[in-house]
């Protein structure tokens, strides 16, 4: 069976040759200690961790799953030891603030680590990655006291976080939430309510679990403005950081799911759990959303990492499996040729590969802007980066996970009947990656966020820096190296602008135009981003195409432009056909 | 939870209004006893069976799965009793030959029954449906003696069949198979070898299991011409039809699969199993292929049935779940509106619905031709039907299962987080339907069959009757009822002809053009067929659109043309870009 091997060469290509991080990191005081040499060392180490520690638990974690017994959750065998290695190796505080001994790594580097976590073990990856999200939220919005108390052990990985948002009757529409927080008069609150789908709400990997829970104060206004954020630790912590009594909340059950079976998805019952306010009253959603951009990019990486693993599995199988004769016989001494010689198998492999490599480059671009936003002191630069982030995070989350599922399904198809058998692992990737299209805001919600809150509400202003960056490439000498790709990119850019204009105009008189166009628009935007990435990558590769790595880039890029990009225009046509077909049917006729 | 409800109204619409079966059935002596009244009664009864007997075992069968113990396979609780009901109700011999008391139902009716089986319970459905396939093969190619001995109890469902094709080292490429058959000198043979992925190779639903096994005779030539077909019963049968000793083959294990967990997928070890030749030596594959057209259409129905069930689940959930406000508030007294009012949820539901209804109509068209081929005595008519079948069976199998997976995934997405939880059942549909793209010839193999063996090898001759039938509609008054749909259909027909010409020409000098175009070509053909069906359905509906059923047809048709059909042109463009992008990368660079 294939063993996960982190694609370090391609990762370094993206950092070094595509985004020239050595120069980028020199720009800001907090990143000047980073360089590609250090990056390479980090990737080598995390590559080993993912291959030798996490991947061996990939199949067994799925077969065993999590256990629930009377409020106690036990993770699959080996998870605890693996988490300890992660924690002791300092990997839990990788992106954390140096103020509490986090390692302060730029997001451009952290995303590559996260891709490896997801690539080697989706279920396991969620524990450290979601915990980092909670830590980020606390770091940004917690009081000095709360931060002093919790941050150090969150960064060491001794403690983890869990985020309590969803309730049985509300997921997307958090305005409906019912969980209550009553003030105790001493600055603390009692939180009461039920939350569902709480990833790692209870588990046995850490000594303490710090819950960040959305709830409403007694006098809270209706709607999302009434939502506040509270911190409730599983065990109370004294002034010296020692664990004390247990708080009054517990897991009521864990969900039986399609995949990510090693990840504990908990129903959490808060029975007057003692909690402290994080940030201002009524600002709970806003506080959550500061880390949401990071978290959603991470979930995009679940799509990417899973697709990379699926590629490795399918490629190995396709090289190994003998079946049928290639159009020109490869090896007469064998009864058949490896199926990788068959056009249709190559099509599937190249689809996966082209999606993965574009996704990796696109992630770096988005992470680059997150880093600018975080590290830069130049207001204009930060605003521009924030605009790009606002526009592209929903694309990164949804497009990369939609392509991630497609990629895993295609890779599974390469295996024929064996792809349906659990032992091979590729069907697990399909089941595991599927959740990434759903949680952290469904991909439909991402599309609405993009089309409605970002594009239409900004009157297209948020699109401008994105268009500028693409235009800047098109105007450069690099674009001249592969004129047909530049032409294809320019054509799609023009179509994208037209589609944007169309929806802005049509939605002025009919709000449903936004919802009806949104998913097509998100996909079209994804294709535009990937087309740009491929044009950029081929520009770098075209001068070096006699080396294998660059030759492969050129071939894969060709496949993207000729065999995938046409999809973008189907989305374009569907947008331009407007919302009538989507909205006309009365509800009773469904 | 939603309960499966057979879509009888739509089924009757297809039979009666779209294909006028009353007139059709009057044409042939063997079908003159059939009419829509009888059809409706059959559908009502099988609707009850699927809803009340099979659907209740849908979730429990998945959770329990099959059990294997020392060669013995136990199906999930309730399967045995359900199978007994099916058998006693005469459902196992529905399409069987009246010569042995089969009921001789036309395929146009049988497909609707099979859709219900798959819709209500994928795992269970495979037992009777695959058994029918084996029975059909034996009926066509078995000696009088074998038929007399086995057919009656296969049609009553007391016994079942299993088909032994795949071996560990060969699935697609059966020329490589190693199973041997040694003559015993008394007309019987000893079969030795290992087969894998044998659906219902062993189970506890019937008294006897009749294996049809592909094997090679000692003096057999290399390749597929050396393959013969043998019948090996689990228990020997004496002259009076009584069961005797057990034959020497057994199940070595059952597979652990992604889905269809209630279906026993067996490794079968034949240890000198006593067997009899079916058909001529060396004609084993040909014999198998006589039922393959029926079987592959059945697997297409797995895609269709699953998508129908997914639609019902998602529609019910979307009407029930309150979340967010619709663009115009629906019910102020409630905290939120049902999500079915949101454009993006409607998009998903309409996608599933438009796929299902087109698929059902297309199935009827293909089944109609199978019936012509079977019941007609007019050589010309039969040849034309056979050409259509040859062209369209791979499309029906692959396009309907590809759309089936997409549909189940979209329906699952409607559920948000709940879609990922096993209890709701919709994630099971995704897992269950996934196999349909893989078995009975992967969808990639279907596409190669279509593009290579059918289209290119016939020099486009097989396309002609299909094009004629579409043109005939376009030239009719019906087409004038919805001119924009007729125009869209005509445009796609022209593009399809161009794509066909292109591949026929380009593949003359490069055989890889076939494999590189094949999947895109199959999908384009699928869209052409569906576009025709939608144009036909809208033609019927447009004069009656003030009735709900027909109004819904018109709305769904509009959705198909405006929001799905543009995909066809992405496939067109990808075909016209040729095979270079697919073939250029050297194997070592993958």
Mean pLDDT of A394-406: 98
Query: How many residue pairs from chains A and B have C-beta atoms closer than 8 A?
Result: 277
Give the distance from residue A164's alpha carbon to the nearest chain B alpha carbon, in angstroms.
Answer: 14
- Taking the CA of residue B225 and the nearest CA in chain A, the distance in Å comes to 15
Is the confidence at residue A85, as pLDDT, over 90?
yes
Residue A328 clears pLDDT 90, i.e. is over it? no
CB atoms within 10 A of CB B85: 14
Q: Does the pLDDT of residue B374 top 90, yes or no?
A: yes
Q: Which of A449, A566, A574, A575 to probe the B interface (max B CBs under 10 A)? A: A566
For residue A204, the SS3 value is coil
Query: Which tokens sit at B115?
Result: 């859709």
Q: Which two tokens stand for residue B568?
A: 């066809």
Residue B299 scores a pLDDT above 90 = yes
Structure tokens at B252: 């070595």
Helix, strand, or coil here: B198? strand
The pLDDT value given to residue A327: 86
Distance from CA of B548 to the nearest CA of A (A): 7
Kindly report the nearest CA distance between residue B115 and chain A, in angstroms.
20
Judged by CB atoms closer than 8 Å, whether chains meet at B335 and A176 is answered as: yes
B547: left (phi over 0), alpha (psi -120 to 50) or beta: beta
Provide the annotated active-site residues of B: 440
Mean pLDDT of chain A: 97
- Whose structure tokens read 């059990």? B67
Is pLDDT of B545 > 90? no
In sequence order, what DSSP letters do the residues of A417-437 get, joined into one string?
GGGGBGGGSHHHHHHHHHGGG
Q: What value does the mean pLDDT take over residues A461-480?
A: 98
In B, minimum Cα distance to A581 occurs at B559
Are the C-beta atoms of residues A259 and A118 closer than 8 Å to each other? no
Strand partners, A170: A167
Burial of A74 (0-12, 13-18, 19+ CB in 10 A): middle
C-alpha Rg value of chain A to the nearest Å: 24
A165 with A174: CB under 8 angstroms? Answer: yes
| CA atoms within 13 Å, Cβ hemisphere of A25 | 21
Q: Pick the residue from chain B with its C-alpha nearest to A259.
A: B420
Average model confidence (pLDDT) for chain B? 97
* Residues A513, A514, A520, A526, Cα dihedral to 10°: 150
- Strands A208-216, A227-233: pairing is antiparallel
Q: Do A587 and B341 count as a contact with CB atoms less than 8 A apart?
A: yes
Please tell me which residue in A440, A501, A513, A562 is annotated as part of the active site.
A440
Residues of A in contact with B572 (CB under 8 A): 566
Q: How large is the C-alpha radius of gyration of chain B? A: 24
Return phi, psi of residue B377, to 5°: -110, 5
Q: Give the nearest partner residue to A327 out of B257, B350, B512, using CB atoms.
A: B512
Q: Nearest chain A residue to B323 by CA: give it.
A: A173
Q: How many of the other CB atoms lie within 10 Å of CB of B167?
A: 18
CB A207 within 8 A of CB A218: no
Helix (H), strand (E) at residue B434: helix B426-434
Helix, strand, coil fractions of chain A, as percent rounded to 5? 60, 15, 25
Mutate which: B549, B581, B586, B589, vs A, most A CBs within 10 A:
B581
- Class of residue B480 by CB neighbours under 10 A (exposed 0-12, middle 13-18, buried 19+): exposed
pLDDT at B290: 81
Contacts of A350 in chain B (CB under 8 A): 581-582, 585
Give this complex's ipTM: 0.97
Q: Name the closest residue on chain B to residue A176, using Cα atoms.
A: B335
Q: Do A569 and B567 touch (CB under 8 A)?
A: no
Q: In this structure, what token pair is assigned to residue B159?
A: 């016994």
In this predicted structure, what is the pLDDT of residue B109?
Answer: 98
Identity of the residue in A420, A437, A514 whose CB atom sits nearest the CB atom of B257: A420
What pLDDT is recorded for position B328? 82
Which candidate from A338, A343, A577 shows the least CB-CB separation from B583?
A343
Going by pLDDT thresholds of 50, 70 and 90, the confidence category of residue A239 is confident
CA separation for the pair B519, B501 (Å, rounded): 16
Residue B563's closest chain A neighbor by CA? A574
- pLDDT value for A330: 83
- Chain A residues whose beta carbon lies within 8 Å of the beta carbon of residue B548: 588-589
For the segment A117-131, what is each residue's pLDDT rounded down to a tens digit? Answer: 999 999 999 999 999
Structure tokens at B470: 């579409």
User: Averaged over A489-502, what is the pLDDT?
Assistant: 98
B416–A172 CB contact, under 8 Å: yes
Tell me if A581 and B350 make a contact (CB, 8 A cut-off). Answer: yes
Structure confidence at residue B1 as a pLDDT band (50, 70, 90): confident
Whether pLDDT at B414 is above 90: yes
What are the chain A neighbours of B578 within 8 Å (beta carbons)?
A: 562
Q: Tokens 């130049």 identify what position?
A: A378
Residue listed under structure tokens 């146009």: B108
Average pLDDT over residues B411-422: 98
What pLDDT, on a 0 to 100 scale, did the predictor assign at position B271? 98
Q: Do A567 and B570 touch (CB under 8 A)?
A: yes
- pLDDT at residue number A386: 97
Question: Which residue of A lies nearest to B554 if distances are taken between CA atoms?
Answer: A585
| pLDDT score, position A422 | 98
Neighboring chain A residues of B412 at a CB cutoff of 8 Å? 434
* pLDDT confidence of residue A133: 95
Q: Is the pLDDT of residue A329 over 90?
A: no
Picking from A416, A434, A510, the nearest residue to B442 by CB comes out as A416
* Closest in B172, B342, B581 to A323, CB measured: B172
Which of the four pLDDT bands, split at 50, 70 and 90, describes residue A528? very high
- Sort out which chain B residues have CB atoms less than 8 A from A59's CB and list them: none
Q: Chain A contacts of B435, Cβ < 8 Å?
A: 420
Span A500-515, pLDDT tens digits? 999 999 999 999 999 9
Residue in A with minimal Cα distance to B402: A409
Residues in chain B with CB shorter than 8 Å from the CB of A551 are 585-586, 589
pLDDT bucket at B329, cuts 50 / 70 / 90: confident
CA distance readout (Å), A103 to A84, A445, A566? 18, 33, 43
Mean pLDDT, residues B64-93: 97
Question: Is B549 a residue whose pLDDT tops 90?
Answer: yes
Chain A residues with beta carbon closer than 8 angstroms to that of B302: none
User: Does residue A532 carry a pLDDT above 90?
Assistant: yes
Nearest Cα of chain A lies from the Cα of B375 at a distance, in angstroms, of: 35
pLDDT tens digits for A361-382?
Answer: 999 999 999 999 999 999 999 9
Q: Which residues of B218-255 are buried (b: 16+ CB within 10 A; e: fewer)?
A: eebeeebebbbbbbbbbeebeeeeeeeeebebbbbebb
Q: What is the DSSP string of B488-530?
A: HHHHHHHHHHHHHHHHHHHHHH-THHHHHHHHHHHHHHHHHHH
Give mean pLDDT, residues A485-500: 98
Q: Where residue A153 falls among pLDDT bands split at 50, 70, 90?
A: very high
């Amino acid at each position: 069976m294939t063993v996960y091997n982190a694609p370090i060469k391609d990762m370094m290509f993206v950092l070094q040759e595509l985004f020239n991080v050595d120069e980028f990191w020199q720009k800001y005081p907090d990143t000047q200690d980073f360089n590609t040499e250090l990056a390479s060392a980090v990737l080598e180490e995390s590559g080993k961790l993912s291959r030798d520690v996490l991947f061996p638990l990939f199949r067994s974690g799925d077969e065993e799953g999590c256990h629930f017994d009377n409020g106690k959750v036990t993770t699959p065998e080996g998870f605890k030891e693996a988490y300890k290695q992660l924690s002791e190796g300092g990997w839990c505080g990788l992106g954390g603030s140096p103020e509490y001994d986090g390692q302060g790594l730029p997001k451009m580097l952290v995303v590559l680590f996260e891709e490896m976590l997801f690539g080697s073990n989706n279920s396991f990856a969620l524990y450290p990655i979601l915990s980092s999200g909670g830590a980020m939220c606390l770091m940004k919005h917690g009081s000095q006291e709360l931060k002093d108390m919790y941050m150090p052990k969150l960064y060491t990985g001794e403690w983890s976080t869990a985020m309590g948002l969803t309730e049985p009757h509300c997921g997307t529409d958090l305005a409906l939430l019912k969980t209550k927080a009553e003030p105790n008069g001493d600055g603390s609150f009692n939180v009461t309510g039920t939350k569902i789908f709480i990833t790692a709400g209870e588990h046995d990997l850490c000594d303490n679990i710090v819950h960040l829970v959305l709830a409403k104060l007694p006098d809270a206004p209706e709607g999302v403005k009434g939502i506040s954020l509270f911190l409730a630790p599983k065990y109370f912590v004294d002034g010296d950081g020692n664990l004390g009594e247990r708080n009054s909340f517990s897991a009521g059950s864990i969900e039986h799911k399609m995949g990510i079976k090693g990840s504990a998805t908990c129903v959490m019952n808060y029975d007057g759990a003692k909690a402290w306010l994080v940030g201002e009253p009524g600002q709970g959603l806003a506080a959550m959303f500061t880390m949401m951009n990071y978290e959603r990019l991470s979930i995009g990486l679940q799509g990417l990492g899973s697709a990379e693993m699926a590629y490795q599995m399918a490629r190995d199988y396709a090289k190994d499996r003998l079946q049928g004769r290639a159009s020109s016989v490869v090896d007469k001494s064998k009864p058949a040729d490896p199926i990788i010689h068959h056009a249709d198998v190559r099509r599937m492999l190249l689809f996966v590969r082209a999606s993965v490599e574009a996704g990796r480059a696109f992630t770096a671009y988005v992470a680059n802007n997150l880093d600018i936003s975080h590290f830069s002191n130049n207001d204009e630069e930060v605003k521009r980066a924030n605009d790009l982030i606002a526009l592209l995070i929903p694309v990164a989350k949804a497009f990369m996970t939609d392509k991630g599922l497609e990629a895993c399904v295609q890779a599974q198809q390469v295996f024929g009947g064996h792809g349906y058998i659990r032992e091979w692992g590729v069907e697990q990737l399909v089941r595991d990656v599927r959740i990434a299209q759903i949680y952290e805001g469904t991909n439909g919600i991402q599309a609405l966020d993009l089309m409605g809150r970002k594009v239409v509400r900004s009157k297209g202003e948020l699109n401008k820096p994105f268009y500028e960056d693409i235009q800047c490439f098109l105007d450069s000498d690099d674009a001249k190296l592969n004129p047909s790709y530049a032409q294809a990119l320019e054509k799609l850019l023009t179509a994208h602008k037209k589609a944007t204009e169309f929806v802005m105009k049509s939605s002025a008189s009919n709000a449903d135009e936004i919802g009806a166009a949104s998913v097509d628009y998100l996909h079209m935007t994804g294709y535009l981003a990937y087309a740009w990435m491929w044009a950029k990558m081929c520009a770098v590769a075209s001068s070096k195409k006699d080396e294998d790595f660059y030759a492969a880039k050129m071939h894969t890029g060709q496949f993207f432009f000729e065999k995938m990009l046409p999809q973008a225009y189907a989305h374009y046509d569907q947008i331009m056909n407007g919302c009538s077909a989507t909205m006309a049917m009365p509800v009773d006729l469904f």
